Structure 1
């Protein structure tokens, strides 16, 4: 059976689970958070991932999706299992039960608004971002039987195009928030192309260094894995080191820099203590040694 919780996502279970309707085919619904109104002439900084995660666990829990996705870092937070409905689309009483109309109805909110600014660069469309983590997200929805098709067409603009009731009931696949019956939204405006499956055998060996376990990260530990991690933290603008020597030895600079990475992913408190965990390690992508 597929995993109800996306393995790459930080699990933030809101409870209040409710079943979907298996009489309908499997669906995914694409959203953007759209949390700020910016323009090409007046761009605005992207809202931090932690802020949106806090919103969906606080005042916005009644509008929470299954998954919040940061396309700039590849971070994910998941609030409901795939087997439950989420609450990110309007569902009129006595209507089509839009949040439940499928074996699964997996709703994804991409952390994005048009003309957001990240590290000094402005992004007009979601597809202009790095779309980090999209491959993992696409694979996970596919594991639940959501086909890689857009019954109403892949979104290409911020415009409304309501899906006819018979198509909504009979065709599985990906729908934009702009397509969902009973709703009036126009997002997401764009969405990355589906990830093609490789035609040949996978290359031998892991692409990235597997998580070595928290006990690996002890003071004085020397390893090329730590050197590789050091380089990735610097590349992610999480450099809190005070020296360029002994980069392959675990020390206080690694703790400070890794805590900065955890905070960049939206982790807080004890989850941002500077000691690697599987979630943050897999998001960092340390090259195999």
Structure 2
């Protein structure tokens, strides 16, 4: 099992843990703390890290994330284990419970606000920072099956929300891409290897006859690789291959169930709609 606590992070566990919703693919939600409203003409000094730790373990515990991350020093603090929900997004009754969506729904508060001043230099976006420690957070997220992708595109300062994408795609989301929420953070984020800013066109569906017991072809391998990429590969012991196996069917079924399908629509054998949603 992957680590419940980010290796090297300072631990400040809050006791009110609660489970996530395993019907959905794993994901990360990115935020910025936005403690001050600075401008290019009037920058402001960054808030001390320990002040935010005190806030999230005290009066701000009702909005605490999993991680507080300082992109300038690489320092991180963790408040909830990976398999618990945290509380940094609005979780309205009905619809998708946005704090719980996914095998994990890791929330990261980046210690940042636009035009913060650190070491005499002003930073307009998180992308401009040194992003120290980001590699460790990404590696931890990958260990929980979170794909490197931004399903709704890389964040900007504008909101971009789509309930269907949120429910059917694992990966990285900004607060401004999370349903039921109003904030537009985190703004432009650092780029990392492997991340695709927009979904790729779906390859042609090879037909139902390509899948099933005894079948061996490149389409089965492609299916398995995409299932893993989307966070639906838990039944593979080694990894996807060209040979159809029960793990392929079970992983495909998990994806179909995540679409809220049932009966013959969730039998684990890909049809045109399964293929289109998986690759779309």
TM-score (norm 1): 0.66
Whether the 8 Å CA contact 1:138–1:195 is kept in 2: the answer is: no
Query: What's the counterpart of residue 159 of structure 1?
Result: 158
Unaligned runs of 5+ in 1: 198-289
| Distance in 1 (alpha carbons) for counterparts of 2:115 and 2:163 | 33
Number of residue pairs matched? Answer: 195
Matching of residues 201-280 of structure 1 within 5 Å: none
Unaligned runs of 5+ in 2: 196-280
Q: CA deviation at 1:15?
A: 1.2
Whether the 8 Å CA contact 2:80–2:86 is kept in 1: the answer is: yes
Query: What's the counterpart of residue 277 of structure 2?
Result: none
Q: CA deviation at 1:195?
A: 4.0
| Distance in 1 (alpha carbons) for counterparts of 2:31 and 2:143 | 20
Whether the 8 Å CA contact 2:149–2:194 is kept in 1: the answer is: no
Query: What's the counterpart of residue 79 of structure 1?
Result: 79
Query: What's the counterpart of residue 116 of structure 1?
Result: 116
TM-score (norm 2): 0.68
| Distance in 2 (alpha carbons) for counterparts of 1:26 and 1:41 | 40
Task: Give 3-state SS (helix, strand or coil) of 2:98's partner.
Answer: coil
| Distance in 2 (alpha carbons) for counterparts of 1:35 and 1:146 | 28
Matched, 1:50 2:50: yes
Query: What's the counterpart of residue 131 of structure 2?
Result: 131
Q: CA deviation at 1:95?
A: 2.7
Cα deviation 1:94-149 (Å, max 9, x = unaligned): 23100001110000010000000011110011111110001111100111000000
Matching of residues 135-146 of structure 1 within 5 Å: 135-146=135-146
Task: Give 3-state SS (helix, strand or coil) of 1:28's partner.
Answer: strand
Q: CA deviation at 1:191?
A: 1.2
Query: What's the counterpart of residue 186 of structure 2?
Result: 188
Whether the 8 Å CA contact 1:19–1:85 is kept in 2: the answer is: yes
Matched, 1:149 2:149: yes
